[in-house]
Structure 1
Amino acid sequence: MASEMELVGRLVMSAALGSLIGFERERLSWAAGLRTHMLVCVGSSLMMIVSIYGFTDTLGDHVTLDPSRVAAQVVSGIGFLGAGAILARGQVIRGLTTAASVWSVAGIGLAVGGGLYTPSIAATLIILLILAGVKPLEKRFIAYHRRRHVTIKVKRGKLTLGSFNQALGVSANRVKQFIVQPGEDEEYDEVYVVFSRMSLQEYVLIRKKFNDLPGIESYSEMDSDEEIDPYSW
């Protein structure tokens, strides 16, 4: 069995590795930030330590234990935190990356708790590279052709899917989702539109046609590449 000081060191290491990933999420103001990632990492590490060493006194000729039993429960049970990170974003399904990072941090904690120091450090560096390093490349090379999410404020009852498609003309086939929601102002509706993946030039041409929409007050683009969830309103 590992010494008590080594076990404490594993918990401290879990907190440190979790904080690195949590800081990256914190700086982007996501719901699951620094403290959440640290707690998940330390907690899962502690559970792994308990799973491995917590029941050694009960072992005997007729008693055997599976040290992976708690780890399996952590992997499946951490999903509730991921769901909270996703649903907290309101009108748009967002936070999938943060949910994935929380789930990954739990894996790091289990690895540290099991004494797998090198894989846990390597996993931390890889996850940081994915979260912070890949995003600029994604914006530069992938987001050029991406879905466009637009919120349109119009006079109540003035804009329908038919009139919207008519205003867009041949570009109407780019409409992937069209959802109308009553706005906070009783005189206006909020229309959420998702366009299929397209280049910026194509989107600019479509956006010029918004001015021809009946009863339009304003419109804005949301920075997201995920589906609108009509059931989250």
Structure 2
Amino acid sequence: MLVAAVYPTLSNGELLLRLVEAGGLSLAIGLEREIRDRAAGLRTHLFVGLGSALFTLISAYGFHDLIAAGPAVVRTDPTRIAAQIVTGIGFLGAGAIIRSGMSVRGLTSAATLWVVAAIGMACAAGMFVAAGVTTIVVLVGLGPLRVVGRSLVTNIRHDHCVLRVSLVEGASAWPVLGIVQEVGASVRRVELRDDEEEGRWLTVECELPGGLRASQVADLVASDESVSSVDW
């Protein structure tokens, strides 16, 4: 509950500073998305950040003249428009998500739009340090952290691999199995089939250790003299 006579105001210079801060930080994140050629790029992030900041400023300071027009006690809730921004930005974020078959793209861009809205609101509320730190964390997450994360996943994750090996007529499957085990792969299933038309085929299903790719194993297997060709 606020009394109209002491309702807070901002100077034009302070309003401009908060809008510029919101626009600049939003541009920094939008530039990273633009460089990666994402659907939500430079302009989208700028507009979301500025719009969120302006809505927050309007909610907190935009109705001063109306509220201060009389001596009566006025009840006001400057967080109402801000709360609607949090809800409404979800619709814009959903538009950045693209699903193609089993793959989904655009989740990161949707998340950056959501956090840019928060950054804009923080700037409008005068929380410049919080907005700046959030922007730095987001940029680190989109850049260096992305590289580190992929490296960790590549080294830890065990990929599933199925090798279909064409063997020379009369050749044994043991040399191929020996190569697979030497590289540290865990053999799950082995099937050897002789066909009058297609010849001798060996199917090896295995789990590869972190950092090892199926193409690398296939190249090693193909180098053996008992192997005609390898598919994976």
Question: Does the 8 Å CA contact 1:41/1:106 hold for their aligned counterparts?
Answer: yes
User: Which is higher, the Rg of structure 1 or of structure 2?
Assistant: 2
1:78 maps onto 2:89 in alignment: yes
1:90 maps onto 2:74 in alignment: no
Give the paired residue count. 168
The answer for unaligned runs of 5 or more in structure 2 is 1-8, 161-186, 190-206, 220-230
Which AA in structure 2 matches 1:50?
I
Task: Tell me the equivalent position of 1:115.
Answer: 126
- Cα offset, 1:140, TM superposition: 1.4
CA distance in 2, matches of 1:16, 1:39: 11
Alpha carbons of 1:19 and 1:63: their partners in 2 closer, same or farther (altered >3 Å)?
Answer: same
* Paired residue secondary structure (1:73): helix
Which AA in structure 2 matches 1:39?
F
Residue from 18, 21, 24 that aligns with 1:16:
24
* Paired residue secondary structure (2:105): coil
* Paired residue secondary structure (1:93): strand
Q: Give identity over the alignment, percent.
A: 39
- Cα offset, 1:52, TM superposition: 0.3
Alpha carbons of 1:36 and 1:54: their partners in 2 closer, same or farther (altered >3 Å)?
Answer: same
CA distance in 2, matches of 1:77, 1:135: 28
Which AA in structure 2 matches 1:90?
S
Alpha carbons of 1:4 and 1:94: their partners in 2 closer, same or farther (altered >3 Å)?
Answer: same
Task: Tell me the equivalent position of 2:37.
Answer: 29
The answer for unaligned runs of 5 or more in structure 1 is 150-168, 172-195, 209-217, 220-233
CA distance in 2, matches of 1:53, 1:197: 60
Residue from 201, 207, 215 that aligns with 2:212:
201
CA distance in 2, matches of 1:99, 1:201: 32
Alpha carbons of 1:21 and 1:207: their partners in 2 closer, same or farther (altered >3 Å)?
Answer: farther
Alpha carbons of 1:46 and 1:72: their partners in 2 closer, same or farther (altered >3 Å)?
Answer: same
1:99 maps onto 2:110 in alignment: yes
TM-score (norm 1): 0.63
Using the TM superposition, name which of 62-71 and 28-37 deviates more.
62-71
Task: Tell me the equivalent position of 1:143.
Answer: 154
Question: Does the 8 Å CA contact 2:154/2:211 hold for their aligned counterparts?
Answer: no
Task: Tell me the equivalent position of 1:175.
Answer: none
Which AA in structure 2 matches 1:46?
L
* Paired residue secondary structure (1:143): helix
Question: Does the 8 Å CA contact 1:145/1:197 hold for their aligned counterparts?
Answer: no
- Cα offset, 1:90, TM superposition: 3.4
